[in-house]
Amino acid sequence: MGDIDPQPLLAAGRQAHQDLMVDACTITRPGTPTLNRTTSQLTPGPATTLYSGPFRIRPQRTPSPTEAGERRQVVARYNAALPFGALPSGALRIGDVVTVTASADPRMVGQTMTVMAIDYASTATAWRLTLEDLT
């Protein structure tokens, strides 16, 4: 690495990226389900809230076609960004649930998505996630 200290540049980039986060979300982890032995139905356990605060969300340009049985469907995927220091490393997992709680696009409020990928990078200005629409 050269003589340039990247930390001031990263701090400025992280603040600038956070300033673009005009939406808000809550991220939860589903609780352990319990089996009702009488009905053989699983009852979801209480969810744990991992994060609630600002974020940025954008649709991926290319939807992902998938097959479910004999039926072809298109899955909507989104790129989301949380403030860089929003959570400690390892706090999120694939399968955690993101719910949009406020948005400049009112159609997004209430949308629920699942975390499909969590990105890490040495010079990241935000914590980036790939989400898949559950609806």
List all residues 6 or more positions away from 100 whose beta carbon is below 8 Å from its beta carbon: 23, 24, 25, 57, 108, 109, 110, 111, 112
pLDDT of residue 135: 63
pLDDT interval class at 71 (50, 70, 90): low
Q: In this predicted model, what pLDDT tens digit does every residue of 25-66 receive, in sequence order?
A: 999 998 888 888 888 888 888 999 999 999 999 998 765 556
Ramachandran angles phi, psi of 11, nearest 5°: -60, -40
**CA dihedral (101, 135, 77, 96) positive or negative:** positive
Kindly report the average pLDDT of the chain as a whole number. 87
* Average pLDDT of the residues in 59-84: 76
**Total-model pTM:** 0.82
pLDDT of residue 42: 87
